[in-house]
Amino acid sequence: MRQEILLHLLNIFVAGNLPHGLINKTAEKFGYSRRTISYLWNKAEKQKQTSQKYDLDHSYHKCGRKRITVPYESIASIQMGDSTCIRDLASKLNLAPSTVWKMIKRGELNPHTNAMHPEISEDNKLVRIHLIISLLVQDSIPIQPQYKFLYDFVHIDEFYLSRKSQQVYLAKNEPKPDRSGKSSKIIPKIMFMGCVARPRWNQMGECTFDGKIGIFPFIEEALTKRASKNRPKGVIETKPIESVNKQATRQMLINKILPAIKSKWPSEGEKIILFNKIIARNTLLKTMLNGKHIINKMVLHLF
């Protein structure tokens, strides 16, 4: 409203003076007193004489307790392990936890969940580039490269029901920390293997195959060695496989993955299926199935 009043006065301003009676008319138009209009005009005149920008905002927000500001260097210098919760971060900054929480609400601190990423070597990158190139249609490479439809691909990969990520609090423009490791086997985990393919639709737009083949846990059945209040000794109990090695993966492919593909694969689909498994390290999964090697990308004749 103050800016509108000033614009109204400047539009009628003539030859360095305001017309007679303009202050009273402006006060009646905007519903302010004559004293308030005169104060705004005199303040704008002083700012004009000192070549300042017109600023007619209230000064009430300049009173009271000043907001606590923390330099960027103070936050960025804190180690990652000391900024995993608000209480630890507040202790390192010598602030109250409520103050740190207000800084998060204002956007001065950014909560960030840091996940463990696989460490990829130069050989790993080269293998992935060769895999991507192999997915291109050969006839389209010189002019307009196009990828294959991948209707004959089945993607399998393992995942864990364990916490491999950590939430930390960072400064507004602080870069996100990077964590990597050769393997995630040192983290306690329960492993599952998921198997998916590309969905398919018919000409009517109906989904004939959703591509969800299944998710299968790495578990085993073993006899209990000791009795407890929950079950007696010698009872069959289901337990997760602690070490998922080549033999466990082979049994999973033969006993779970392949029967699920046979039962769910569409009859009008391709008869040759290519398996694609993502492995972080530069080691190929080599198992035997009907005398044929299964590696990162394997060919399987199911029909």
Q: How far apart are CA 297 and CA 303, in angstroms?
A: 19
Q: Are residues 25 and 125 in the same domain?
A: no
Tell me which of 12-16, 62-66, 93-97, 208-212 is least confident.
12-16
Q: Does the pLDDT at position 90 exceed 60?
A: yes
Residue 228 lies in a domain: yes
Q: Are residues 223 and 138 in the same domain?
A: yes
Residue 16 lies in a domain: yes
Residue 112 lies in a domain: no
For the entire predicted model, the pTM comes to 0.46
Q: Are residues 33 and 129 in the same domain?
A: no
Q: What is the pLDDT of residues 100-154, one digit of tens each?
A: 999 999 888 988 887 777 778 888 889 888 888 888 888 888 788 888 888 888 8
The mean pLDDT value for 57-76 works out to 77
Q: Are residues 14 and 127 in the same domain?
A: no
Burial 184-213 (b: 16+ CB within 10 A, else e): beeeebebbbebbbeeeeeeeeeeebebeb
With cut-offs at 50, 70 and 90, classify the pLDDT of residue 93: very high
Q: Are residues 132 and 263 in the same domain?
A: yes
**Residue 5 structure tokens:** 């009043």
Question: Do 135 and 150 contact (CB within 8 A), yes or no?
Answer: yes
Q: Are residues 233 and 205 in the same domain?
A: yes
Residue 214 lies in a domain: yes
In the prediction, which pLDDT does 91 show? 92
Higher pLDDT, 90 or 243: 90
Largest CA distance in the chain: 106
The residue written with tokens 């003076």 in the block is 17
Residue 171 lies in a domain: no
Burial 1-39 (b: 16+ CB within 10 A, else e): ebeebbebbeeeeeeeebeeebbeebbeeeebeeebbee
Question: Do 278 and 117 contact (CB within 8 A), yes or no?
Answer: no
Q: What is the pLDDT of residues 200-231, one digit of tens each?
A: 888 888 998 898 999 998 888 888 888 888 78
Q: Are residues 133 and 256 in the same domain?
A: yes
Q: Which element (helix H / strand E) includes 289?
A: strand 287-289
Q: Are residues 45 and 94 in the same domain?
A: no
The mean pLDDT value for 64-90 works out to 87
Residue 153's nearest CA partner among 245, 247, 278, 249 is 278
The mean pLDDT value for 183-191 works out to 65
Q: Does the pLDDT at position 97 exceed 90?
A: yes
Q: Does the pLDDT at position 302 exceed 60?
A: no
Residue 173 lies in a domain: no
Say how many domains are in the chain.
3
Q: How far apart are CA 272 and CA 196, in angstroms?
A: 16
Q: Are residues 101 and 124 in the same domain?
A: no
Q: Are residues 55 and 136 in the same domain?
A: no
Share of the chain above pLDDT 90, in %: 9
Residue 31 lies in a domain: yes
Q: Are residues 195 and 240 in the same domain?
A: yes
* Alpha helices in 122-177, H assignment, sequence order: 122-134
Q: Which residues pair with 212 in a beta bridge?
A: 196
Residues 6+ apart with CB under 8 A from 105: none
Mean pLDDT of the chain: 77
In the prediction, which pLDDT does 161 show? 60
Residue 67 lies in a domain: no
Tell me which of 57-61, 112-116, 291-295 is least confident.
291-295
With cut-offs at 50, 70 and 90, classify the pLDDT of residue 66: confident
Helices (H) and strands (E) in the chain, counts: 9, 14
For residue 164, the tally of other CB atoms under 10 A from its CB is 15
Q: Does the pLDDT at position 186 exceed 90?
A: no
Tell me which of 187-191, 248-252, 296-300 is least confident.
296-300
Q: Are residues 153 and 286 in the same domain?
A: yes
Q: What is the domain extent for residue 282?
A: 119-164+182-301
Q: How far apart are CA 197 and CA 154, in angstroms?
A: 5
